[in-house]
Amino acid sequence: MEIPVNVSLDLDNTLNCGQTFRWHKKNEKWYGVVNRTPLILNYDPTQSLLEVQSIGEEINGETLENGIIHYLGLNDSLQSIKGNALKQVEKTHPDFIPLFHEIVDPSLGIRLLRQDPWEMLVEFLLSTQSNILTIKKRCEKLAGFFPENQVFIKEEPFFLFPSIDQLRHLEVDDFQSMLFGYRSKWLKELVDTIDIRMFKTLKNMPLEQKLNYMTGFSGIGYKVANCVALFGFSDFRAFPVDVWISRFLNQYFGVTGNAENLMVVGQEIFGEFCGYIQEYIFYYIRTRCR
C-alpha cells in the first residue's frame, strides 16, 4: 500500500529523536509496531509517497491508512504550531527570536507520534538515568521476553508490546535478569498497583491531573510523567525537562530549577504547543550543539 503525503515529513528524525524506542531501520526501511499492528515503512520524499507493508488491516479500529496518518501526526499543522509559539516568544523573549528560527526551521518535518500510553509509561520508567541506546535495548529485552507476542511480516519478526496482564506474571528477578537495575522494583510495583482503566481516562483530563496521577507511582517523577503526557496522551502543553533541556534553559534564559519549575518556564516561553517546541529543542541540542 502507498500513502500520499502532502505535508512536510522527516520520517528518519521523527522515529529517531528520542520519543520512541522500538523502531529500527534496515536497508532504508523502518520496522516497528503501532498498537498491535506490525509495520514496515519506506518513505520516498521525492515522490511524497509512504510505502507501507503490514499483515494487519486496521490500527485501533481505523483503516490502516488512517491509523498511520494519525500515528505519524500528519494532520498536525507544524506551521501553525511554529506561528503560535513564535508569537509567544515575541511577547516574552524577543531576543531569542533568531535562535528560535534556527532551532525550529530544520525540524518542521519532525512530528510527535500518537503512541500507546501504557507502552510510554513503562518505557519511560525504564529510561531513567540512561542514554537512548541503552533504553532501546531495554525495551527490546522486555518485549522479547514474551515469545507468544511475536508476529511476522514475511520472514521479519516483530514483538507486540506486553500487556499489563502479561507483565503482572513477572517477578522483580525477571526484570533484574533484563538488567533493569533499580528500576526493576519500580516496574513491579507499577504493574501490581496501577488501575489501567483509570490510567487510560487521563487522556481527557488536564495536564495537571495527568501529572498528579502518574507521579503517584514510584519511579515516575515530573520528567517521566511529562514524556508520557506528551508522547502517549498527545498533550502538547507537556514539557519534559531532562538534563539537556535543563542545561539549555539555563544557558539561554538563565533559569535553573527542578523539572516541575522548568516545565512552567517552558510553558510560559513557548505557549500551548510547548511540547512540540521542546522536541525540536531536544533534537537541536543533540545534533547541532555538541
**208 in contact with DNA (CB under 7 A):** no
Helices in the chain by DSSP H: which ranges?
11-15, 64-71, 78-92, 97-104, 117-125, 132-144, 164-168, 172-177, 183-193, 196-200, 207-214, 222-231, 243-253, 259-270, 274-288
Residue 242's CB: how many other CB atoms inside 10 A? 18
Nearest residue to 246 via CA among 282, 221, 212, 274: 282
For residues 226 to 245, the per-residue mask of contacts with DNA, x marking binding by CB under 7 A and - elsewhere, is: -x------------xxxxxx
- Contact with DNA (CB under 7 A) among 29, 70, 93, 137: 137
Q: Which residue lies nearer to DNA by CB, 64 or 228?
A: 228
Nearest residue to 19 via CA among 73, 55, 83, 77: 73
Three-state SS at 128: coil
Name residues contacting DNA, limited to 271-290 (CB under 7 A). 278-279, 282
- Contact with DNA (CB under 7 A) among 11, 18, 139, 199: 18
Q: Which residue lies nearer to DNA by CB, 19 or 234?
A: 19
Q: Which residue lies nearer to DNA by CB, 42 or 261?
A: 261
Work out how close the CB of 176 gets to DNA at its nearest, in angstroms, rounded to a whole number: 6
Work out how close the CB of 271 gets to DNA at its nearest, in angstroms, rounded to a whole number: 17
Which amino acid is located at 42 in the chain?
N
**128 in contact with DNA (CB under 7 A):** yes
Sign of dihedral through CA atoms 96, 102, 107, 108?
Answer: positive
What gap in Å lies between CA 59 and CA 35, rounded to an integer? 7
Which amino acid is located at 44 in the chain?
D
Number of residues that bind DNA (CB under 7 A): 40
Number of H helices, E strands in the chain: 15, 9
Work out how close the CB of 69 gets to DNA at its nearest, in angstroms, rounded to a whole number: 22
Work out how close the CB of 260 gets to DNA at its nearest, in angstroms, rounded to a whole number: 8
- Contact with DNA (CB under 7 A) among 76, 144, 218, 255: 218
- Contact with DNA (CB under 7 A) among 13, 16, 66, 130: 130
- Contact with DNA (CB under 7 A) among 223, 232, 233, 238: 223
H or E element: which one contains 259? helix 259-270
Name residues contacting DNA, limited to 143-202 (CB under 7 A). 176, 179, 181-182
H or E element: which one contains 38? strand 37-44
Where along the sequence are the contacts to DNA (CB under 7 A)? 17-19, 127-135, 137, 176, 179, 181-182, 215, 217-225, 227, 240-245, 258-259, 261, 278-279, 282
